[in-house]
Amino acid sequence: MADFLKLKLFVKKLLVVHVAWGHLPSIGGAELYYGFFFALKGEGSSALQYLKSSLKHLEEGGFFVLLPLNFAYLGWVYQFLGELELARNHLQKAIKMQKDLGNPFMMSFFYNELSMVHLDSGEFESAQSCAERALSLAQENKEKLWEGRSWIYLGRILGKKELTQMDEAKENILKGIRILEELKIQPWVGTGNLFLGELYSDRGFKEKALENFKKAEKMFQEMGMDYCHDLITLKTI
């Protein structure tokens, strides 16, 4: 719901309590969520700091069930920092570890972020394959949040891959936005509007693009997601 101040205070308190307790798996878990907080806001260096520390504590504490999620978050952060090979390696490792654990939880998220690595690398077929796998897993596991993300990512990939697939790309993104709006997942509703604006911009529909960029910009400003706000500034120059 993008109440970042409340989230930050809660997770920071959680971390302080667990550090005082000295229980390594709990410290690692708290750092994992603190890293997620910074990743969601787009503060890459802070996210990496806590996620790397979390990885160390989880491994030393022998709490392996959260390791795939940690590697996936690291891959997500490396992807939006432009470190594509690091992102690819971490996400592939996360997927393998989660499969080895026999745990389907959040696998859709892992494949979604890997699809963006492939997209940024110009590997359109692999990007689409990962996004379709993410969508299938989300629907199979009844994870509506990740289904919404998957529709948006799939729409973005189709829009980049084929000039003739404007309508399908747009409908996929809108479908994802509607799901996330129903769930009140504001940060990723904003991302959906950003990608919809990008789609219109790539096709030369400047007014439609600007309309969606402004909608996303307003949401990012209100939530304090500076990284995403900077992205819009670059796209509208």
How many alpha carbons lie under 13 Å from residue 106 in its C-beta half-sphere?
Answer: 18
Whether the Cβ atoms of residue 151 and residue 182 lie closer than 8 Å to each other: no
Closest Cα to residue 76, out of 101, 46, 47?
A: 47
Q: What is the rounded distance in angstroms from the CA atom of residue 208 to the CA atom of residue 193?
A: 11
Across 15-22, average pLDDT: 62
Ramachandran assignment for 123, one of left (phi > 0), alpha (psi -120 to 50 degrees), beta (any other): beta
First vs last Cα of the chain: how many Å apart?
Answer: 30
- Scanning the chain, the segments in alpha helix (DSSP H) are 4-21, 24-41, 44-60, 67-80, 84-101, 107-120, 124-140, 144-161, 166-183, 186-202, 206-223, 226-236
Q: What is the pTM of this model?
A: 0.87
| Domains of the chain, first to last | 1-96 (1.25.40.10)
pLDDT in tens, 150-203: 999 999 999 999 878 899 999 999 999 999 999 999 889 999 999 999 999 999
- 17-26, 44-53, 169-178, 182-191, range with the lowest pLDDT: 17-26
